C-alpha cells in the first residue's frame, strides 16, 4: 500500500477534498434558463476536452489542458496534477499551472503528500496541527487559502493521483463546479492510466529490441567457426563429404542472412547504423545486388531480366546498404515465386523531373492481397495463407529494407493485383545533384 496514497485516502485529506464535492444546501433560487445555458456551455467544453484524449496524444499536454479548463471553469488560476508513477509510493508533480518556483521547490523537497496534509488542515473541518507550520507558510506565501482537489482513480479503483485547484479565499464550490471537477478528474485519471499503459508498452518494446540485439550477437559468434569448418570439409577429396559441405554451406548461408537482418534491424532501430555515403553510380550497386542473390536465383532456376539506362544514374548512397536492401528484395522475389513462373524483371530508370532514381522489381509469384500491401513492411509481419507456409523467414526483411531506404531519403512501396498475380516493389532514391 502506498504510504502517500494511504494519506491521501486518509479521512483528514478526503474530508477536505470530498467535503467540497458535496453540494451545499440553501443556495438561492436561480434563473433556470441561465443555469441551463451555463450547464450546456460547460458540457460542451468538457466534451471538446474529452475528444482530445485520443491515443498517441501527449500526456503532459492533455493534463495541462485539463488543468487549464478546470482553472477557467472554477476561476482558480493556480493548480496542479499530482500523480504516482508506476509502482512509486510518492506523489510527484505531473503538471502545474500558475504556481511559483519557490512553492514548487518547497513541496518538491517536502514531498507532495505534505501539500495534501496542509490542504486538509486549512479546510473548514481541518486542524492546523495536522501539518507543519512551514507548509502553511508556503501556502500563505503563494496566496493560497483553500485547495479543492479530486482524487484521480483508475477504472479499477486505484488511486493514481490528485487534481488540485487553489483558491485565494475559501469558497464552497457550486453544484455545477463540483460536477465539472469530477468530470475533469475522470479525464485526468483516464489520461494518466493510458499514459502508464503506453509507457509500459514502450518499455516492453525496448526490452524486445534489446533481447533481439543480444540474440543476434550471440548467434553470430558461433557462425564464424562453423563456416571455417565447412571450408575445411570442402577441401576433402571425398565426394560424399563435399556434398555434405555444400549442403551445410547453403543452410549456414540462410542462417547468416537471418542473423544479419536481425542484427541490422536492431541497429537501425537504435539509430546505430552509420551510412558511408558517397556520390556514385547506381548501376554497379544493382549489379552487386544481383551477384549477392546469384545463389538463390540459381537454386530456384529463376531467370532475371534486367533493364537499366546506359547513362549513369548518380546517387549519394552507402552502396553496401542499398545493395543489401535490393538483395533482400531479390531474395523475396525468388522465395515467393511460383515454380516455373515467368522471369523476374528488374528495371532501373531515372526520373529527372522528380529528381529520383526508380528501381522496380516485378515478380510473377504468389502476389499480395491489397490489405497487406502496407502491413508487410511492419516488423514480424508475414502474410499467412497456404501458399506462404514452408517458406522460411522472420518477417523482418522488408522492415529493414524500408528503414535502409528511408535512411537515404528514399521510399519503397509494394504493389500487387492480389494473390496469384505477382508483386512489384518500387524503390525511389533521390538523384545526386551535379
Ligand atoms: P519474410 O520473407 O522473412 O517472411 P519479409 O519482411 O521479407 O519477411 O516479408 C514480409 C512478408 O511479405 C512475407 O512473409 C510475405 O508474406 C510478403 N512478401 C514479401 N515479398 C513478397 C513477394 N515478392 N511476393 C509475395 N509476398 C511477399
CA 259 vs CA 139, 214, 380, 390: distances in Å: 61, 11, 14, 19
In 3D space, the residue among 351, 344, 332 whose CA is nearest the CA of residue 282 turns out to be: 351
> Do 398 and 391 meet the contact criterion of CB atoms below 8 Å apart?
no
Counting ligand 1 atoms within 8 A of each CB, the residue from 395, 405, 415, 419 with the most, and so the one to mutate, is: 395
What 3 state SS string does 239-265 have? HHHHHHHHHHHHHHHHHHHHHHHHHHH
Per-residue pLDDT of the chain in tens (434 residues, 90 and over written 9): 354 444 444 433 333 443 333 344 455 555 788 888 888 888 888 888 888 777 667 888 999 999 999 999 999 999 999 998 766 678 999 999 999 999 999 999 999 989 888 888 776 666 555 678 899 899 999 999 999 999 999 999 999 999 999 999 988 888 889 999 999 999 999 999 988 888 899 999 889 888 888 898 899 889 989 999 999 998 888 888 888 888 898 889 888 888 988 889 888 888 888 899 999 999 999 999 999 999 888 887 889 999 999 999 999 999 999 999 999 999 999 999 887 789 999 999 999 999 999 999 999 999 999 999 999 999 888 887 655 555 677 888 999 999 999 999 999 999 999 999 999 999 999 999 76
Q: Ligand 1: which atom is nearest the Cα of residue 333?
A: 23
Separation between Cα atoms, residue 179 and residue 377, nearest integer Å: 47
Q: How many CB atoms lie within 10 A of CB 282?
A: 24
Domains and CATH numbers, the chain: 3-201 (3.30.450.40), 203-269 (1.10.287), 278-430 (3.30.565.10)
Question: Measured between alpha carbons, how far is 331 from 325 in angstroms, rounded to an integer?
Answer: 10
* Contacts of 246 by beta carbon, 8 Å cutoff, 6+ apart: 234
pLDDT of amino acid 4: 44
**Count of beta carbons in the 10 Å neighbourhood of residue 208:** 14
In 3D, which of 305, 434, 254, 197 has the Cα closest to residue 205? Answer: 197
Ligand 1 contact via 192 beta carbon (within 6 Å):
no
Confidence at residue 129, expressed as pLDDT on a 0 to 100 scale = 59
Q: Helix H segments across 270-396?
A: 282-292, 294-299, 319-335
Using the mean position of ligand 1's atoms as its centre, give its distance from the Cα of residue 275 in Å: 25
355's grid cell: 529528381
Residue-level pLDDT at 318: 96
Secondary structure class of 55 (helix, strand, coil): coil
Give the nearest ligand 1 atom to 396 CA.
6
Mutate to test the pocket of ligand 1, among 326, 382, 412, 415 (most ligand atoms within 8 A of CB): 382
Angstrom CA distances, 160 to 96, 113, 128, 130, 194, stand at: 16, 13, 26, 23, 11
Task: Determine if ligand 1 sits within 6 Å of the CB of residue 388.
Answer: yes
Instruction: Find, among 191, 169, 149, 207, the residue nearest to 16 by Cα.
Output: 149
pLDDT at res. 15: 36
Go through 308-335 and write b for each residue having 16 or more CB atoms within 10 A of its CB, e for each that does not. Answer: beeeebbbbbbbebbbbbbbbbbbbbbb
Q: What pLDDT sits at residue 119? A: 82
Return the residue matching grid coordinates 512489384.
424
Contact 360, 345 (CB under 8 A): yes
Whether 383 is in the pocket of ligand 1, judged by its Cβ within 6 Å, is: yes
Of all protein residues, whose CA lies closest to atom 21 belonging to ligand 1? 332
Whether residue 84 has its Cβ less than 6 Å from ligand 1: no
pTM across the whole model: 0.68
Residue 342: DSSP 8-state: P
pLDDT at position 41 is 85
Q: What is the pLDDT of residue 85?
A: 74
Let me know: does 423 contact 365? Beta carbons within 8 Å: yes
The rounded distance, in Å, linking the Cα atoms of 85 and 15 is 25
How confident is the model at residue 209, as a pLDDT?
85
Mutation to probe ligand 1, out of 300, 336, 413, 415 (largest number of atoms < 8 A from CB): 336
Ligand 1 atom closest to the CA of 425, numbered from 1: 23
Amino acid at each position: 500500500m502506498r504510504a502517500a496514497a494511504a494519506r491521501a485516502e486518509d479521512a483528514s485529506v478526503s474530508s477536505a477534498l470530498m467535503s467540497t464535492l458535496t453540494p451545499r444546501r440553501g443556495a438561492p433560487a436561480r434563473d433556470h434558463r441561465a443555469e441551463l445555458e451555463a450547464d450546456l456551455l460547460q458540457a460542451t467544453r468538457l466534451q471538446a476536452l474529452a475528444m482530445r484524449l485520443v491515443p498517441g496524444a501527449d500526456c503532459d499536454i492533455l493534463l495541462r489542458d485539463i488543468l487549464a479548463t478546470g482553472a477557467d471553469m472554477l476561476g482558480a488560476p493556480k493548480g496542479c496534477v499530482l500523480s504516482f508513477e508506476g509502482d512509486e509510493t510518492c506523489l510527484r508533480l505531473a503538471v502545474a499551472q500558475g504556481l511559483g518556483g519557490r512553492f514548487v521547490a518547497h513541496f518538491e523537497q517536502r514531498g507532495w503528500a505534505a501539500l495534501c496534509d496542509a490542504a486538509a488542515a486549512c479546510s473548514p473541518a481541518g486542524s492546523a496541527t495536522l501539518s507543519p507550520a512551514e507548509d502553511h507558510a508556503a501556502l500563505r506565501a503563494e496566496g493560497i487559502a483553500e485547495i479543492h482537489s479530486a482524487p484521480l482513480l483508475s477504472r479499477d479503483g486505484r488511486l493514481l493521483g490528485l487534481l488540485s485547484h487553489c483558491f485565494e479565499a475559501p469558497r464552497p464550490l457550486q453544484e455545477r463546479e463540483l460536477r465539472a471537477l469530477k468530470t475533469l478528474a475522470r479525464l485526468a485519471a483516464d489520461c494518466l492510466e493510458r499514459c502508464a499503459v503506453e509507457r509500459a508498452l514502450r518499455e516492453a518494446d525496448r526490452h524486445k529490441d534489446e533481447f533481439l540485439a543480444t540474440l543476434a550477437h550471440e548467434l553470430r559468434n558461433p557462425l564464424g567457426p562453423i563456416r571455417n569448418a565447412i571450408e575445411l570439409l570442402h577441401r576433402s577429396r571425398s565426394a560424399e563429404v563435399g556434398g555434405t559441405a555444400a549442403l551445410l554451406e547453403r543452410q549456414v548461408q540462410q542462417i547468416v542472412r537471418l542473423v544479419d537482418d536481425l542484427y541490422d534491424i536492431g541497429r537501425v532501430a537504435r539509430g546505430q547504423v552509420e551510412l558511408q555515403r558517397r556520390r556514385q553510380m547506381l548501376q554497379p550497386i544493382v549489379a552487386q545486388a544481383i551477384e549477392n542473390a546469384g545463389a538463390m536465383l540459381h537454386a530456384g532456376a529463376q531467370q532475371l531480366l534486367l533493364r537499366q539506362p546506359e547513362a549513369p544514374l548518380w546517387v549519394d548512397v552507402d552502396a553496401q546498404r542499398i545493395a543489401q536492401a535490393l538483395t533482400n528484395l531479390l531474395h523475396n522475389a525468388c522465395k515467393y515465386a511460383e515454380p516455373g513462373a515467368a522471369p523476374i524483371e528488374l528495371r532501373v530508370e531515372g526520373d529527372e523531373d522528380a529528381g529520383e532514381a526508380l528501381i522496380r522489381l516485378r515478380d510473377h509469384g504468389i502476389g499480395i492481397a491489397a490489405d497487406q500491401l502496407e502491413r508487410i513492411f511492419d516488423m514480424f509481419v508475414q502474410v499467412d495463407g497456404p501458399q506462404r507456409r514452408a517458406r522460411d523467414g522472420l518477417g523482418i526483411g522488408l522492415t529493414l529494407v524500408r528503414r535502409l531506404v528511408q535512411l537515404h531519403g528514399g521510399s519503397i512501396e509494394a504493389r500487387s493485383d492480389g494473390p496469384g498475380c505477382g508483386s512489384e516493389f518500387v524503390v525511389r532514391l533521390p538523384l545526386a545533384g551535379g
